A and B are shown apart, each in its own frame.
Chain A
Amino acid sequence: MYDFTYQKPGSLADAVKVLSGDPEAKALAGGQTFIPVLKQRLNKPTTVVDLSKLGLSGITVSGDKITIGAMTRHADIAANADIKAKIPGLAHQASLIGDEAVRHRGTMGGSLANNDPAACYPSALLALGGTIKTDRRSIAADDFFQGMFTTALEQGEIITAIELPIPEKSAYEKFRNPASRYAIVGVFVAKFPSGVRLAITGAGQGGVFRHTEIENALSANFAPDAINGIVTPPDDLNSDIHASAEYRAHLVGVVSKRAVAKAT
Chain B
Amino acid sequence: MGFEGIGASVRRKEDVRFLSGKGNYTDDINRPGQLYAVIKRSDRPHATINNIDVAAASSAPGVVRVFVGADMAAESIGGLPCGWQIHSKDGSPMAEPPHPVLAVGKVRHVGDPVAVVIAESKQAAKNAAELIDVDYTDLPAVANLTDAVAGGAVEVHDGVAGNLCYDWVIGDKAVVDGVFANAAHVVKLDLVNNRLIPNAMEPRVALGDFDTSSGDFTLYTTSQNPHVIRLLMGAFVLHIPENKLRVVAPDVGGGFGSKIYHYAEEAIVTWAAGKVRRPVKWTADRSESFMSDAHGRDHVSTAEMALDAEGHFLGLRITTLANMGAYLSTFAPAVPTYLYATLLAGVYKTPVIYCNVKAVFTNTVPVDAYRGAGRPEATFLLERLVDVIAHDTGIDRVELRRKNFIPADAFPYQTPVALQYDSGDYQTTLRVALANADWNGFEARRTAAKDRGKLRGIGISTYLEACGIAPSAVVGSLGARAGLYEVAEIRVHPTGSVTVFTGTHSHGQGHETTLAQLVVSQLGVPFDQVEVVHGDTAKIPFGMGTYGSRSLAVGGSAMVKAMDKVIAKGKKIAAHLMEAAVEDIEFKDNVFSVAGTDKSKTLTDISLAAYVPHNYPIEELEPGLDETAFYDPKNFTFPGGCHIAEIEIDPDTGVVEMVNFTAVDDVGRVVNPMIVEGQVQGGVAQGIGQALLESAIYDPSGQLLSGSFMDYTMPRANDIPNMSVATENTMCTHNPLGSKGCGEVGAIGSPPAVINAVVDALKDYGVRHLDMPATGAKLWSIIQAATPRMAAE
Which residues of A come within 8 Å of B, CB atoms? 2-3, 40-41, 175, 178-180, 241-244, 247, 250-251, 254
User: Is A241 touching B776 in the complex (CB atoms < 8 A)?
Assistant: no
User: Is B776 touching A178 in the complex (CB atoms < 8 A)?
Assistant: yes
B76 interfacial by beta-carbon distance below 8 Å? no
Tell me which of A2, A3, A244, A254 contacts B777 (CB under 8 A): A244
User: Is B126 touching A41 in the complex (CB atoms < 8 A)?
Assistant: yes
Stretch of B27-35, B345-353, B583-591, B703-711 contacting A (4+ beta carbons < 8 Å) = B703-711
Closest 9 CB pairs of A and B: A179-B713, A180-B710, A178-B713, A254-B652, A247-B777, A243-B777, A179-B711, A241-B705, A241-B697
* Cβ of A160 to closest chain B Cβ, rounded Å: 30
User: Is A241 touching B653 in the complex (CB atoms < 8 A)?
Assistant: no
B393 interfacial by beta-carbon distance below 8 Å? no
> Which single residue of chain A is at the shortest CB-CB distance from B705?
A241
B94-134, CB < 8 A from A: 123, 126-127, 130
B495 interfacial by beta-carbon distance below 8 Å? no
Main secondary structure of the interface of A (DSSP, over half): loop
A sample of 20 inter-chain contacts (CB < 8 A) reads: A3-B123, A41-B126, A178-B775, A178-B776, A179-B709, A179-B711, A179-B712, A179-B713, A179-B714, A180-B711, A241-B697, A241-B705, A241-B711, A242-B775, A243-B777, A247-B777, A247-B781, A250-B784, A254-B652, A254-B653
User: Is A178 touching B652 in the complex (CB atoms < 8 A)?
Assistant: no
Main secondary structure of the interface of B (DSSP, over half): loop
Contacts of A178 in B (CB 8 A): 693, 713, 775-776
Q: With the chains together, A40 CA to B710 CA distance in Å?
A: 14
Q: With the chains together, A128 CA to B610 CA distance in Å?
A: 83
Flag B768-779 by CB within 8 Å of A: 1 or 0 each. 000000011100
Contacts of B652 in A (CB 8 A): 254
> Which single residue of chain A is at the shortest CB-CB distance from B711?
A179
Q: With the chains together, A242 CA to B709 CA distance in Å?
A: 13
Given contacts A179-B714, A242-B777, A247-B777, 10 further A-B contacts (CB under 8 A): A175-B653, A178-B775, A179-B693, A179-B709, A179-B713, A180-B709, A244-B781, A250-B780, A250-B784, A251-B653
Contacts of B781 in A (CB 8 A): 244, 247
Flag B750-780 by CB within 8 Å of A: 1 or 0 each. 0000000000000000000000000111001
Contacts of A175 in B (CB 8 A): 653
User: Is A247 touching B780 in the complex (CB atoms < 8 A)?
Assistant: yes
Contacts of B697 in A (CB 8 A): 241
Most chain A C-beta atoms within 10 Å of own C-beta, residue among B705, B709, B710:
B710
Tell me which of B126, B130, B711 contacts A242 (CB under 8 A): B711
Q: With the chains together, A244 CA to B778 CA distance in Å?
A: 10
> Which single residue of chain B is at the shortest CB-CB distance from A242?
B777
B652-677, CB < 8 A from A: 652-653
Q: With the chains together, A149 CA to B346 CA distance in Å?
A: 53
Contacts of B777 in A (CB 8 A): 242-244, 247
Q: With the chains together, A180 CA to B780 CA distance in Å?
A: 20
The answer to whether residues A241 and B126 also contact, given A178-B713, A247-B780 and a CB cut-off of 8 A, is no
* Cβ of A210 to closest chain B Cβ, rounded Å: 23
Q: With the chains together, A175 CA to B693 CA distance in Å?
A: 15
Contacts of A41 in B (CB 8 A): 126, 130
* Cβ of B209 to closest chain A Cβ, rounded Å: 28
Q: With the chains together, A247 CA to B652 CA distance in Å?
A: 10
Contacts of B714 in A (CB 8 A): 179
Contacts of A247 in B (CB 8 A): 777, 780-781
Contacts of A241 in B (CB 8 A): 697, 705-706, 711
